[in-house]
Amino acid sequence: IQLNKVIIRKLEMKMKHPFKTSYGSTQTKQFLLIEAIDQDGRSGWGESVAMDLPWYTEETVKTTEYLLEDVLIPLLLKSPIDHPDQVSERFAFIRRNNMAKASVEGAIWDLYAKRQDVSLARALGGKKSTIDVGISLGLPESMPQLFEQIESYLREGYKRFKFKIKPGQDVAFLRAIREVFPDLPMMADANSAYTLKDSEHLKQLDDLDLMMIEQPLGHEDILDHAELQKQLQTPICLDESIHSLDDVRHAIRLGSCQIINIKIGRVGGLTMAKRIHDLCAKHGIEVWCGGMLEAGVGRAHNIALTTLSQFTLPGDTAGSSRYWFEDIIQPEVTVKKGTIEVPTAPGIGYAINHDAVKRYLIDEKVYTM
């Protein structure tokens, strides 16, 4: 593949509902959409999941813009590549900046699959034709409103419910949900809001029949999570702490978690996501695909990744309509009975809705050889 041109579009999309975490509330999402065009005029598409503030990882829309423009795109335009795995090799000397790397690597994977005339799912080695999905609910406005949301997503068949928790809104909050929904497949995500000092408090979660607790402790920690997992029956799932194969190896060695949430952006791309998946499979660590409130292109990449066999738990990849009035792909991602049908068309398998892209566009830059 020789890239001829890369177009970076900055889009701004308003979400249907604000998404509230312990760090604040977002309703307007700005992100970069990457179009990589090859020597034959074919396009591959990628989406950057970095947000406007570095509260989840250190990256932001602006840092990814800088990396892509000054460093990553020039490295790709320089000379041809045979396979998308070579993208991460070419980027390997650049420390971190995983979301920037993943955004353009995703576009190359899409382009590669289209050139091979296979779906991205098959190009990655995935075999499933449908994937099971869950939903991640932000901190609620009120309990009655939350119960209503749960009822409505249950009707759509979502197979796993994730609730954000924070100190002061945790054990009693989850217990209130459990009392109303005794059989709900549910879990909690703390986004690093606790420390080991809270372990006595967190042990109360063991009575609530949670599928797991996601990232209770420090965003870079591996060691304290191992200590906490010894004290907790509820499986720990790591999110923020996992950026690389080494992080996974350390977590497995120490027993820091039983489950890993793989996000393509956080680990630097699909090639690394697949390697992490393979290592987890080897060690019996279950994985699922985490979400970053993606628009359609990022969502399509998540669907393709989830077709790999060790993605045994429902992920965050909900339908387009859970977030957007109108998504940037056609058809939109739809959920039926809690599953998404994996598209079979070449590449990401969804067409770009160019009218929608135009409507959301706030900036566009073109890079050529």
Q: Which residues are catalytic?
A: 164, 263
Least distance CB 56 / ligand OSB (angstroms)? 5
292 binds, among ligand OSB, Mg ion, none (CB under 5 to 8 A by kind): ligand OSB
Question: What DSSP designation does 333 have?
Answer: P
Least distance CB 357 / ligand OSB (angstroms)? 20
Establish whether 214 is an annotated binding residue: yes
47 binds, among ligand OSB, Mg ion, none (CB under 5 to 8 A by kind): none
328 binds, among ligand OSB, Mg ion, none (CB under 5 to 8 A by kind): none
Q: Which residues bind Mg ion (CB under 5 A)?
A: 189, 214, 239
Establish whether 239 is an annotated binding residue: yes
- Kindly provide the b/e burial profile for residues 9-39, where b requires at least 16 CB atoms within 10 angstroms of the residue's own CB: bbbebeeeeebbbbeeebeebbbbbbbbbbe
162 Cβ contact list (under 8 Å, min separation 6): 134, 135, 136, 137, 186, 187, 188, 189, 214, 316
Q: Which is nearer to ligand OSB, 84 or 315 (CB)?
A: 315
H/E element, 42? none
What's the CA dihedral at 194, 195, 196, 199 to 10 degrees?
A: -20
Residue type, 257: C
Least distance CB 218 / ligand OSB (angstroms)? 14
Residue nearest to ligand OSB (CB): 291
Least distance CB 150 / ligand OSB (angstroms)? 15
Residues 146-154: contacts with CB within 8 Å, 24+ apart?
146/177, 147/177, 147/180, 150/177, 150/181, 150/184, 153/322, 154/184
Identify whether the C-beta of residue 198 lies closer than 8 Å to the C-beta of residue 167: yes
Establish whether 247 is an annotated binding residue: no
Q: Which residues bind ligand OSB (CB under 6 A)?
A: 56, 136, 189, 191, 239, 290-293, 316, 318
Q: Which residues are annotated as a binding site for Mg(2+)?
A: 189, 214, 239
